[in-house]
Amino acid sequence: MTAQIKMKTPLVEIDGDEMTRVLWALIKEKLLLPYVDLKTEYYDLGLANRDATDDAVTAESARAIHRLGVGVKCATITSNEARKAEYHLRNLFPSPNATIRAILDGTVFRKPISVSTIKPSVSTWRKPIVIGRHAYGDQYKAAELRIPGKGKVELVYTPADGGPEKRIPVAEMKGPGIVQGIHNLDESIKSFARACFVYALDEKLPVWFAAKDTVSKIYDGHFKEIFNEIYETEFRDRLNAAGLRYFYTLIDDAVARVVKSEGGFLWACRNYDGDVMSDMIASAAGSVAMMTSVLVSPSGAVEYEAAHGTVQQHYYRWQKGEKTSTNPVALIFAWTGALAKRAEIDHTPELAAFAKKLEAAALQTIEAGEMTGDLLALANPAPAKSLNSQEFIDAIVKRLEA
């Protein structure tokens, strides 16, 4: 074995639950520890420890990412009544991802991992399409009301400083119906735009942004204005110098162009558009197990994870002694993403090269026809049989050693 690669600064390691926790340990043992003198600040966000610490460990892990700048997170269970009974929990806590996101105030970027033998359903896509989803406001923080019958609905703003009230009619209801009030904040939209442009510069991608400002002149129009203002005042020169362009269009035009495009751009999406379109991109690109996710904070701190959950059903089979064919690729790429970012910040090219080498080894393994069951139906040519997770990781090790 060659000498281990040294790390200058630790990164934040956030352990999680179920099948992904099993894979996490396996990835470290087989793919990382033999090659890297891994320096991490470890936080156990397994459900038992979140319960034991009254969820304090979740906020601590987010603050650690803020301090150290780079984190990698395993998938975690979001507790509910069923999980409370299953794990004998004392309390229910919010989704760890929501807690971490609230502390780091981030934008989530999701990117498919491409393999030459797995073709996207959209035949023109040659390069991945990355979705940047604004994760604040709009329909996700809406006030909604069922209207029982005829009457007037109004929008009222009462200034905190006692200034004059503003009031506009929403609808003169002719009968029963529904009404919804949504909002967003300039600061949040600005930090969303900044996160997208920073990501685009980092990944050398052009940026697309879309809304429906022809219909929603004030609300969607404001998103367009802010995005444009941040581009013009803070990013135009840097993007131009990198040969990257910013493109705004109407959301329906964007959707039509996306499915005729070659890919290879960042699609900045409003909250609802990002929710819907990231599922479309994931499924058209291949599989949720081949999708990375990174949270980028306006402070520059980043957290890498897999886009999928804890793969609960596989875990129950694993507990019974079965060897499952769970795909570890997105988890491996979460680690390589974090190591590469650490290497970039610390100027440690050896570590960056290792991250690249591990990614290449994982992709070559799949391209050589050695893969987990979820990819079998997508690959062309498809191999006769799938490997279990352990065999697949061993096959990556063989290429890493070669």
Contact set with ligand NAP (CB under 6 A): 75-78, 97, 288-289, 305, 308-313, 326-327, 374
Closest CA to 302 of 73, 9, 18: 73
Footprint of Mg ion on residues 264-283 (CB under 5 A)? 275, 279
DSSP three-state, residue 367:
helix
Q: Which H or E run contains 168?
A: strand 166-173
Q: Left, alpha or beta for 300 (phi > 0: left; psi -120 to 50: alpha)?
A: left
CB of 217 to ligand NAP, least distance (A): 36
CB of 220 to ligand NAP, least distance (A): 29
30 vs 194, which CB is nearer to ligand NAP?
Answer: 30
115 vs 269, which CB is nearer to Mg ion?
Answer: 269
Instruction: Find which of Mg ion, ligand NAP, none residue 271 binds, CB within 5 to 8 Å per kind.
Output: none
CB of 96 to ligand NAP, least distance (A): 7
CB of 278 to Mg ion, least distance (A): 6
332 alpha-carbon distance from chain centroid: 15
Q: HSE-up of 360 (CA within 13 Å, CB side)?
A: 10
Closest CA to 22 of 310, 283, 268: 310
Q: What angle, 0 to 180 degrees and rounded to 10, lies between the N-to-C axes of helices 271-285 and 251-258?
A: 10
Instruction: Find which of Mg ion, ligand NAP, none residue 312 binds, CB within 5 to 8 Å per kind.
Output: ligand NAP
228 vs 283, which CB is nearer to ligand NAP?
Answer: 283
Q: What single DSSP character describes residue 266?
A: E
279 vs 391, which CB is nearer to Mg ion?
Answer: 279
CB of 110 to Mg ion, least distance (A): 10
Instruction: Find which of ligand NAP, Mg ion, none residue 342 binds, CB within 5 to 8 Å per kind.
Output: none
138 binds Mg ion (CB under 5 A): no
CB of 29 to ligand NAP, least distance (A): 18
261 vs 287, which CB is nearer to ligand NAP?
Answer: 287
Instruction: Find which of ligand NAP, Mg ion, none residue 389 binds, CB within 5 to 8 Å per kind.
Output: none
CB of 309 to ligand NAP, least distance (A): 2
Query: What's at 132, amino acid-wise?
Result: G
Instruction: Find which of ligand NAP, Mg ion, none residue 279 binds, CB within 5 to 8 Å per kind.
Output: Mg ion
Q: Which residue is nearest to ligand NAP (CB)?
A: 309
Rounded Cα distance, 267 and 247, in Å: 10
Rounded Cα distance, 285 and 131, in Å: 12
Q: Which H or E run contains 36?
A: strand 36-37
311 vs 343, which CB is nearer to ligand NAP?
Answer: 311
DSSP three-state, residue 166:
strand
109 vs 227, which CB is nearer to ligand NAP?
Answer: 109
- In DSSP notation, 127-165 reads S-EEEEE--SSGGGG-EEEEE-SSEEEEEEE--TT----
Rounded Cα distance, 313 and 24, in Å: 17
Binding site for Mg ion (CB under 5 A): 275, 279
